[in-house]
Amino acid sequence: MLPIDLTGKRALVAGVADDGGFGFAVAKAFAEAGATVCVATWPPALNIFLNMLERGKMDESRVLTDGSLLNFERIYALDAAYDVLSDAPTDVRESKRYKDVADFSIQGVADRMVADFGAQPLDILFHSLANGPEVKRPMLEVSRGGYLAAVGTSAYSLVSMVQRFGPLLRPGASVCSLTYMASERAIPGYGGGMSSAKAALESDTRVLSFEAGRKYGVRVNTISAGPFPSRAASAIGIINKMVEYCAANSPLPEMLSATEVGNTAAFLSSSLGSGISGTTIYVDKGYHSMGMAVAMPTGTEPLGP
């Protein structure tokens, strides 16, 4: 056997708010491989997430192959739009959903991990963060604010996290994120500057792999996942059409599962992926390799405006 073994490793998965998306699947794969897992959740979603856990609403999803339940070592509040707490406007810091969650900035979470676990507490940092407030707007209609918000939260947040968590990472650590092929091809309906954010994320992955590799000895990669109908992805508005279209036109004509993305993340974060850095790994049933559609799902129209 050649196992994926993360025993003795600690992972932080930033961007988990329910059990239906890639972030949860990644966290579960890490746990299946033996790692202890911390997660970071957007403050407005934190109480809902905690209540779902406490009431057993996610117990079925949390079952691991050995019959035990996935448990999170810590659950932190994180708003990746803010590098330090002082960056957050007063009305945000004092709002109902933020005022009782301590320091929810990227630096705040880094500081809390050091307080909880010591100076170098982390082996795996996984970035599952994206937000485009104007994602339904085509590029010709997106505002400067909407565009910059998409790039800031979805791409610069990775840079900020590597800056602040780099000193906390143990030798041989792995940093990974999630991207989408709209970074390199036009996807009508995936708007609001999100395509630009994903392009920036992939470029930053290459640069960070060099800089963080030389400075901290860590690997930096990104997974380009195919479309998946998570609750977060529903904000796009056409996610079901995207899923059906890609399933119909991929070399493997079937829907992607979140588990497949999670397993890839576990591989990249293990010693089996020790030679991989600065790379975009496609997990999309091969759709990225296609240059022409071969089928249209029954009852669907082209995705153009």
Query: Which two structure tokens, joined as six digits, stand for 291?
Result: 């240059």
The alpha-carbon radius of gyration of the chain (Å, integer) is 19
Out of 147, 180, 245, 287, the active site residue is: 180
Q: What is the pTM of this model?
A: 0.94
Phi, psi (degrees; rounded to nearest 5) at 222: -140, 145
Rounded Cα distance, 274 and 302, in Å: 41
Rounded Cα distance, 223 and 209, in Å: 14
Query: Which two structure tokens, joined as six digits, stand for 128?
Result: 């599952």
Is 190 considered catalytic here?
A: yes
Mean pLDDT for each consecutive 10-residue tract of the chain (305 residues)? 93 96 97 98 96 96 96 98 97 94 96 97 97 94 97 98 98 96 92 96 98 98 90 72 89 94 98 97 95 74 51
Q: Where are the alpha helices (DSSP H) in 166-229?
A: 194-216
pLDDT score, position 239: 79
pLDDT score, position 272: 96
Rounded Cα distance, 284 and 225, in Å: 5
Domain boundaries, the chain: 10-289
Instruction: Give the CATH fold of the 10-289 domain.
Output: Rossmann fold (3.40.50)
Out of 76, 147, 156, 190, the active site residue is: 190
Q: Are 181 and 136 in contact (CB under 8 A)?
A: no
Q: Helix or strand or coil: residue 80?
A: coil
pLDDT score, position 1: 79
Is 180 considered catalytic here?
A: yes
